[in-house]
Amino acid sequence: MESLITKLESILLKKYEGDSYSEIDNNLSIEELNNCIKLIDNIMIDGISLRSSIYDQLVDKYSSILNNIKYNNVTYISNLEDASISSNVCDKIGGLPLMKKGEEWPKSPDGNNLTFIAQFRYPILTESNKLYRIFADLNDKLSNYYRLLPMKIKETNKYLKHVKLANPSIHVLKEYKIHEWVQNMELKSFTDIKKDPIPEIENLTEDIYDKILNSRQEKSGIKIHNKGKLIFTINADILNIKNDDGIYYFYKDETMQYLSS
């Protein structure tokens, strides 16, 4: 970089070889100096563009290397269909849940009815007869409370498919049917990846990794995770929360976390 700057000085300021910095020709006209400034500005703009292009190439090259399964966890993403017309949807987001007769609507610690988020059978479990129902407090994004209620499904069970809520002010989310679960590979954390890097990614930086991570983000209804304390995530836009592109994270200990994009 220093040699490049020296060459630019020599070209733009007519610095002769052997002269010290203080001996640079100061007899340039105002017009010549202004032209030098404009040229430097253009070089800086082109440099930023070139830097961005090189970053894009690095993202592409590192991204292909990080497709290696050792750097990924298996997740399952829900494939959604509008289910507003259907009245008999088991795996879904929004609408009203399947409930046993006499079962009470879940409430928050302060006694308010929770919002029904979704119900689904885990694609990573063999127990296809177990339905998980999620209720959460969406009124306060700082609230970390939700309920994950499992229910065994049997042909002889009688369920209420349209529950009359005790509190009519509760917002019922738009209903989407979970048509299928698509297996997906999701990158591990940057810290985990750098624990045992192959030579090709020894120089991988966190900012480039973040670009790769962002390029792989997929809008989805529910993403089920198969590792650690995190069970699943739901995008806020699917829940029809206006002007919100954040994500809700649901953990095994029935705590919830909201993170803005």
Whether residue 170 has pLDDT greater than 80:
no
What string of DSSP letters covers 217-243? ----SEEEE-SSSEEEEEETTTTT-TT
Range of the domain at 134: 69-259
- Tokens 């529950």 correspond to 163
Distances in Å between the Cα of 229 and the Cα atoms of 124, 192, 251, 258 are: 15, 16, 6, 15
Do 87 and 60 share a structural domain?
no
pLDDT of amino acid 37: 85
Mean of the per-residue pLDDT values for the chain? 78
Q: Are residues 233 and 251 in the same domain?
A: yes
Same domain, 76 and 59: no
Domain boundary (19, 38, 65) is at 65
The 10s digit of each residue's pLDDT in 173-206 is 888 888 888 888 888 888 888 887 678 888 888 9
- Based on the domain organization, do 139 and 76 belong to the same domain? yes
The better pLDDT of the pair 134, 258 is held by 134
Q: Do residues 148 and 246 both lie within one domain?
A: yes
Q: What distances in angstroms separate CA 69 from CA 125, 151, 185, one per listed residue?
A: 21, 34, 8
Using pLDDT thresholds of 50, 70 and 90, give the confidence band for residue 127.
low
**74 in the same domain as 46:** no
From 35, 65, 95, give the residue that closes a domain. Answer: 65
Owner of token pair 């017309």: 85
The overall pTM is greater than 0.85: no
pLDDT at 22: 46
pLDDT of res. 3: 63
Domain final residue pick, 65, 86, 111: 65
What are the pLDDT digits (tens) for 14-23? 654 555 544 5
Are residues 209 and 93 located together in one domain of the fold? yes
What's the number of domains the chain is made of?
A: 2
Mean pLDDT, rounded, for 121-131: 74
Residues 58 and 156 placed together within one structural domain of the fold: no
CATH number where 77 lies: 2.30.320.10
Instruction: Please state, in angstroms and rounded to a whole number, the distance separating the CA atoms of residues 69 and 185.
Output: 8
My answer on whether 184 and 56 are in the same domain is no
Note whether 140 and 59 are same-domain residues. no
Highest mean pLDDT among 3-12, 110-119, 141-150, 244-253 belongs to 110-119
- At CB < 8 A and 24+ separation, what contacts does 224-232 make? 224/75, 224/76, 224/77, 224/78, 224/122, 224/123, 224/124, 224/181, 225/73, 225/75, 225/186, 226/73, 226/74, 226/75, 226/76, 226/124, 227/73, 229/253, 231/148
Identify whether residues 109 and 55 lie together within a single domain: no
Residues 42 and 57 occupy one common structural domain:
yes
